[in-house]
Amino acid sequence: MTSEKGPDRFYINREDRKDYERLLDRDSPFRDKENKDLFIMAMAVGYTEGNKTRLKKREGFFRESYLDDRDRAIIYALAVAEKGNLNVLLDKSEVFSIAEEYAAGGIKLLKDKAFSGEYGSCARKLETELVEIFDKKIANRLRQADKTA
């Protein structure tokens, strides 16, 4: 699956670059991650917190071709959820913008998650957060899906 006729890269706010770079420092829990992984995490955080920020001074962050099918599916899902229909996927610029704005709204929160508290506590907090969402909202849905199947 490749995205056709869309922009060739994802952009971030120029002022956010240092936050992304901070997340790749050696004391960061995400130090060995790629730009696109951080972007998707920031985007997910922004979406959950309902935080969307327009890009002011934008600059390129990574090429679209670095995404794999899984990454693309996540970004598409977010855009569809935002607009409520599949037609948004016809306009890749719009899809990218939605992703970029949520990432811009989530990057600072992601940085806070990574560095607040003692070293190593980020993984614990992330785990607690994911387990809570999973138990409350996903486990039942998966069970129901199994029953239907």
Partner 1 sequence: MWIDYIKLKNFRQYKDEKITFAPPEKDKNFTVLQGANGSGKTNLVNAITWCLYGEELRSDKKYEGLPIYNTAAFEELELGEKCEVEVEIQMIEASGHKMLLTRSQEFRKLEQLSASSDKSTFTMMRLLGREWTNVIDPSYVLSRLIPKSIERYFFFDGERLDDYFKKATGEDIKEAVFDVSQLNLLEKMIEHLTKMKSKYFSECKGLSPLAEELRQKLQIRQRSLKEGMEQLGTSKKERDEAEEKEEEYSRKLKAASISDIRKLEEDRSQLEKDMRTLEDQIESYESEKLDLLVAFHPLVVLHEPLFSIKELISKRTEAGDIPPDYKRNFLEKLLEKRRCICGTDLSKEDEHRKQIRKAMEDCDAISDISAELITTNAKVSSMLDDLRHFQPKRIKLGKMINDLRKRRETKNRQMREIAEKIGQCDVDQIRFWDSKRLEWKGVRDEKISEIARMELKISETKNEISATEEALKKEMRKQKEYEERLEKLNFCDKSLNAARRVKDEIMANVREEVEDRTRKEFFDLIWKKETYRDVTIDDNYNVSVMHQSGRHARGTLSAGERQVLALAFMAALNSVSGFDVPIIIDTPLARLSSEPKKNIAMNLPNYLKGKQVTLLVTEEEYTREVRERLANRVGREHLISFKETGIGNLAKVVPL
- Site residues (vs partner 1, CB under 8 A): 1, 3-4, 26-27, 29-30, 33, 37, 40-41, 43-45, 47-48, 69-70, 72-74, 76-78, 80-81, 85-87, 89-90, 120, 123, 126-127, 130-131, 133-134, 137-139, 141-142, 145
With tokens 């069970």, the residue in question is 143
Nearer to partner 1 by Cβ, of 53 and 71: the residue is: 71
State the DSSP code for 86.
Answer: G
Nearer to partner 1 by Cβ, of 63 and 77: the residue is: 77
**Shortest distance, CB of residue 123 to partner 1, whole angstroms?**
5
Nearer to partner 1 by Cβ, of 40 and 107: the residue is: 40
State the DSSP code for 31.
Answer: T
Of 76, 73, 69, give the one whose Cα is nearest residue 98: 76
Nearer to partner 1 by Cβ, of 12 and 114: the residue is: 114
Task: Give the containing element (helix H, strand E) for 1.
Answer: none
**Shortest distance, CB of residue 26 to partner 1, whole angstroms?**
7
**Shortest distance, CB of residue 7 to partner 1, whole angstroms?**
16
Structure tokens at 136: 């409350």
State the DSSP code for 59.
Answer: E
Nearer to partner 1 by Cβ, of 85 and 118: the residue is: 85
Beta carbons of 94 and 79 less than 8 angstroms apart: yes
Neighbours of 101 (CB within 10 A): 20
Helix, coil or strand: residue 60: strand
**Shortest distance, CB of residue 28 to partner 1, whole angstroms?**
11
**Shortest distance, CB of residue 138 to partner 1, whole angstroms?**
5
With tokens 């309902």, the residue in question is 50
